Amino acid sequence: LIHFYKRNKMLGVGNKIAMRGMATTASPIHHVVIFGAGLMGSGIAQVSAQTNHHVTLVDKPEVLPKAEKMIQSSVARVAKKAFKQDDQASKAFVEDTLGNISMASEPEAALASADLVIEAVTENLKLKQDLFQRCDEVCPEKTILATNTSTLKVTDIMKDLKRLDRTGGLHFFNPVPVMKLLEVIRTDHTSDETFDAMTAWGRAIGKHTVACKDTIGFIVNRLLGPYIQEAIAMVERGDATFQDVDMAMKLGAGYPMGPFQLLDYTGLDLHKFINENPDHPFRKQSEMINKLVDEGKLGVKTGEGFYKYK
């Protein structure tokens, strides 16, 4: 009876979430393995679990408890907003979402049944290449391997794999539970079946998907790069403070956040990495960014960047 009650409650929850645009499209992907339990990886795990996908989140043992707490807090906020007048449905949604997530420091068992592997680790080419080579050896033939990189070419990351037709990019945006866009990246080797499966899964987790070829920066970051660089240059020249630049873009251009708040969310270390990438078309060293990174002020994930966060 308890199972029957919970099942019917979750049908109601699923319908309500679907109406909110979070899960509307059928997908052949059911088990998702995510490498990297930081802000991005935890967010991808959350939206996948909320839409009834089984998720395994992989990282070092000391990282996983923080990720688990972060996901619990975020799911509770989603439930409170979605089920304001229904405490039982809210509780059932939280329990079922968290029940869909497993944490692992050793991924082999999860990889053996994965439909999709998503990598959301540090923007280090060698690290990503080694990770995917390991997955290529362990995962079954059906498994799609996808990177969440925002600055590297997918082709460079996947170049030594055997299953090139089952590789691609899935580029999310922070914070993942809030941002609606998902860039689906196809290389010259990505098969139509793989691209269609990634797109269907993106829609199934409630994202608006856009297609892009494997070009540095894809769509958003290719356009965002010059904007961010000019904002940094303005502040370094003394034309305006970073606080006033942010406020100007929010009130004058209608942006939800200014460029410096955005840098805090994406990570100042990531921006520094972009500036050190000789292949990136908009790279430009910044003493201001380098100083903050050297001080360990990387943005939201460390509690301080341009702004302080509790």
Local structure of residue 304 (DSSP, 8 states): B
Q: Dump pLDDT digits (tens) for 96-132.
A: 999 999 999 999 999 999 999 999 998 889 999 999 9
Token duo for residue 203? 């829609």
Between CA 309 and CA 194 the distance in angstroms is 39
Residue written as tokens 């409650």?
Answer: 9
Tell me how far apart the alpha carbons of residues 36 and 67 are, in angstroms, rounded to a whole number: 10
Of 31, 53, 54, 171, which is the active-site residue? 171
* 230 counts as catalytic: no
pLDDT of residue 72: 97
Among 100, 106, 57, CA closest to 75? 100
> Cβ distance 269 to 293 under 8 Å?
yes
Strands 208-213, 144-147: pairing is: unpaired
CA angle, 74 as apex, 70 and 80 as ends, to 5°?
Answer: 150
* Residue 221 annotated as catalytic: yes
Q: Can 52 be counted among the known catalytic residues? A: no
- Residue of 48, 90, 174, 221 with catalytic role: 221
Percent of residues, the chain, with pLDDT higher than 70: 90
The radius of gyration of the chain from alpha carbons, rounded to an integer in Å, stands at: 20
* pTM over cut 0.75: yes
Of 27, 48, 150, 174, the active-site residue reads 150
Read off the pLDDT of each residue in 157-162 and give the average, rounded to a whole number: 97
Q: How far is CA 213 from CA 84, 150, 209, 227, in A?
A: 41, 13, 13, 22
Q: How far apart are CA 266 and CA 260, in angstroms?
A: 10
Q: What is the mean pLDDT of the chain?
A: 90
* 181 burial level (CB within 10 Å; 0-12, 13-18, 19+): middle
* Residue 150 designated active-site: yes
Residue 11 has pLDDT above 70, yes or no: no
Number of CB atoms found within 10 A of residue 263's CB: 25
Q: Per the residue annotation, which of 31, 174, 183, 189 is the catalytic one?
A: 183
The Cα–Cα gap between 214 and 216 comes to: 7
